[in-house]
Each structure stands twice: as structure tokens, then as C-alpha cells.
Structure 1
Amino acid sequence: MKNLLIYPTYFPSISHYIALVQAEEITFETEDTYQKQTNRNRMHIYSPNGLQMLNIPLKHSENRQKFKDVKIEYAFDWQKIHFKSLEAAYRTSPFFEYFEDDFRPIFEKKTTFMLDLNFEIFEIVNQALGITLPYKKTTEYFHDAPDYNDFRSLVNGKKDTTQVEPYTQVFNDKHGFINNLSILDLLFNEGRYALDYLKNQQL
């Protein structure tokens, strides 16, 4: 996969990370207009009750905004809710305690812009995987990007039809395998083996 064009998202999906680790070069789209109901500010995890979406509230403007200008809303404590949800989902997973202290700061400090938070998360996830992924950022928006492997569509979970190979999940016995969750699901269940898994998947 040559030069990948992709969005930075909130604890990206597994498909997102398959594209990232298999790319020769990475360019993040940062000049897009904000669109609601995408993975820019949401992730999906495997809760005790099955699939659960965790959504970060954003401050909305009357005018159309570029995503890089969108601010996070802290009027209610979504950080506490998200971390407690992760604990309920993964406390008994093999690697939650191993990574817990790496991810906890994300849910304790107040980053102003959603895009900045996504880049902070990208670096922490890469550290957990034991990799470095250099990247560039776009300087203008193009609807079509013929010079790239354009995987910007992965930001829309409804359009992402990637099927990943099953691995052991905490609540397999209750609800079976749930496909293509947040990279956190893979990390907490597979630890450093997650990287080999990502390299062996196909999009």
C-alpha cells in the first residue's frame, strides 16, 4: 500500500490500523469539513452487553467548520463515562492492566480540539504497538485524490465493510465475535501480538 490518505480518528478501528501499518507513506486528511456521525469522534468497543459506541460531544458552530477547528465539549464528564466503560469491557482482558496507565491520561486532561486529541491518541496507540509511523498532513482538501491510496471512507463506520479474522474477545461466549472494533479491543486482548495480526490482515 503506497501513499495512504486517511483520517485521524478517536481510537481508530482495526481496519484503520491495518491500512496504517501496511502503508509505505501516511498522509492524514486535516483540511476536511466536519461531518456528523463518523469515527472522527467515536469508537466501538465490546461491552458486557455487546457492541457499545462511545461518542465524544463536540461544540457545534452555526457555520460549517473545518474539523481541525472543532472543539470538544466538556459540559458533562464524558471522559469518566468512557474510561469506566473501557474498564467494564476490558478489566478482565489479558492486557488491560498492562496498557491502562498509558491510556488513562487521555481521560484526565482536557484537550481543546478533537483533531489534536486524535493525534495524541495515534501516538499512544503506536507506542503500545511498539511502532513508529511517520506521517504528513494535507495542506488543502481534494475531493478526489488519484495520487493516493484513498482510504478516507474508513472514517464512516457504516461504509466500512472490512471483515477481520476472529481473535479471542472477553465476551465471546456471550455474544460471539464482534467484527472490526476499536484498536483498543485488539490491544487489550492480544497485546504486542496485535501488530503481527494487523500486518497479516487484508483490506
Structure 2
Amino acid sequence: MENSSALLSTAYFAPIQYYCKLVQHQNVLIEQWENYSKQSYRNRCNIYGANGALAISVPVVKATNKKVLTKDVKVSYDTNWQKLHWKGIESAYKSSPFYEYYIDDLERFFTQKWDYLLDFNLEIQAEICEILEIENKNALSDDFIPMQTPDFIDYRNMIHPKASKGLADANFNPQAYTQVFGDKHGFIPNLSILDLIFNMGPDSSHYLETCLG
């Protein structure tokens, strides 16, 4: 398994399951030639707010055609979503053990602007991998890769925010850890990687290894 290749979609502050694949697989390819899929982790993440899981989404420019390639999707700045995300993350994690330790490294993602969603997500992934001290595997596909291609384990549809659309992943076994609002709502697994690093700090990379099935 560790020597196999993984095929992932791009993701905005991807869930823990996603980063487990970066640890688990020697080779990782990110699909950029697929038709963009709405309501997925490509432009959204789930954090743990005071009322439970909270989805925050990056608005994208509406395509003139029904189908647009992921690599061509542009970020929309018609609303000040960056400020809203920043305040939402602050509200969710300001009291977490490692918030002050990491938040300055992430601030630029809520002040600077990127034209393309894919470029934005890749920059985020690079920063998160540096925080986790794991290898940043972000090679992009040269062409669309059909489903059930034997050279890859295809996680593009397996890792999805809606359980009804996601596929079972026998190689991901999330373990409980202390979360800010866990006493109120219990442990919520597989949230954004932000939840893990703010709560577990330097132990985050070891946690990823414990979740491998």
C-alpha cells in the first residue's frame, strides 16, 4: 500500500483523511483535468464551531459553460468571504492549545488573493505540509485519468463531505482526540486539517499515522 500511487482531487484546507493519503502513499497525483464538482472539498472544508460541524466554502466564479475543468476554476471575491472564514476559524479555535502557535503562518490565505482555486489550494497544502513536517506531494495530472485506472488508488470520489456520496475507505480509521467543543457535541472525526493542527500541534503528523487502516 505504501508504495502504491494515490489519485486525489484538489481541496481547500483538506480533511484529515486527505492528509493521511500524503503520509500513506509514496506517490500522489492531484487531478486537474476533471470537470469541476460542486459541493465537494475542492472549495470547502468543515471546522468545529460552537454549534458543531461548520462548513465554510470558497465562492468561485460561475462558469459560462455547464462544465469547467478544475484547473480553470477561478476564485470569486464579490463577497468578503476571506474575512468571514478568518473570523469563523478564530471563533472556533482561538481557545485551542496551538492556535496562537500556527495562526500567523496561515493569515496570508485570508488577506492575499489568488486567481485560480487550484493554485490557492496548492499553496495551502504546501504550508500545511510544512507545519506537519511531511513531504508535500502535489504533482498534477497531465491529462484526465479515467476511473478504475489500475496504476492508482482513486480517492477523488472516496473523500467527500457528504457521507452518501463518499465511498468506504478501509485504509482510514480516525482516532479520537481532544477538540475544543468536544464536551458539548462529542468527537467529530475527519474535519479539516485545521482542527487537527490547532488541537494537537506537533503531534499531528504522528496522529495521521495512527489513522492508517
Whether the TM-score (by the shorter chain) exceeds 0.5 is yes
State the Cα deviation string for residues 28-53 of structure 1 (Å, max 9, x = none): 11111111111100000000111100
Displacement, 1:150?
1.3
Runs of at least 5 residues in structure 2 that lack an aligned partner in the other structure: none
CA RMSD of aligned residues (A): 1.3
In the other structure, the counterpart of 2:153 is 149
Maintained 8 Å contact 1:56/1:72: yes
* Identity within the alignment, %: 39
2:86 maps to a residue whose letter is F
The partner residue of 2:195 within 182, 185, 188 is 185
Relative to structure 1, the CA distance from residue 156 to residue 57 in structure 2 (aligned partners, 3 Å threshold; closer, same or farther) is same
Number of aligned positions between the proteins: 203
Whether 2:160 is the aligned partner of 1:131: answer no
1:12 maps to a residue whose letter is A
TM-score, normalisation: structure 1 = 0.96
Relative to structure 1, the CA distance from residue 187 to residue 154 in structure 2 (aligned partners, 3 Å threshold; closer, same or farther) is farther
Name the SS for the 2:157 alignment partner. helix
Relative to structure 1, the CA distance from residue 113 to residue 48 in structure 2 (aligned partners, 3 Å threshold; closer, same or farther) is same
Runs of at least 5 residues in structure 1 that lack an aligned partner in the other structure: none
Question: Structure 2: how far apart are the matches of 1:192 and 1:160?
Answer: 30
Maintained 8 Å contact 1:94/1:188: yes
In the other structure, the counterpart of 1:172 is 182
Displacement, 1:155?
4.2
Maintained 8 Å contact 1:21/1:133: no
In the other structure, the counterpart of 1:19 is 21
The partner residue of 2:100 within 97, 100, 107 is 97
Question: Structure 1: how far apart are the matches of 2:76 and 2:131?
Answer: 27
In the other structure, the counterpart of 1:86 is 89
| Segment of structure 1 superposing worse, 39-48 or 14-23 | 14-23
Q: Please list every run of at least 4 consecutive aligned residues from structure 1 whose deviation after the TM superposition is greater than 6 angstroms.
A: none
TM-score, normalisation: structure 2 = 0.91
Maintained 8 Å contact 1:16/1:154: no
1:48 maps to a residue whose letter is A
Relative to structure 1, the CA distance from residue 142 to residue 131 in structure 2 (aligned partners, 3 Å threshold; closer, same or farther) is closer
Displacement, 1:160?
5.2
Maintained 8 Å contact 1:9/1:155: no
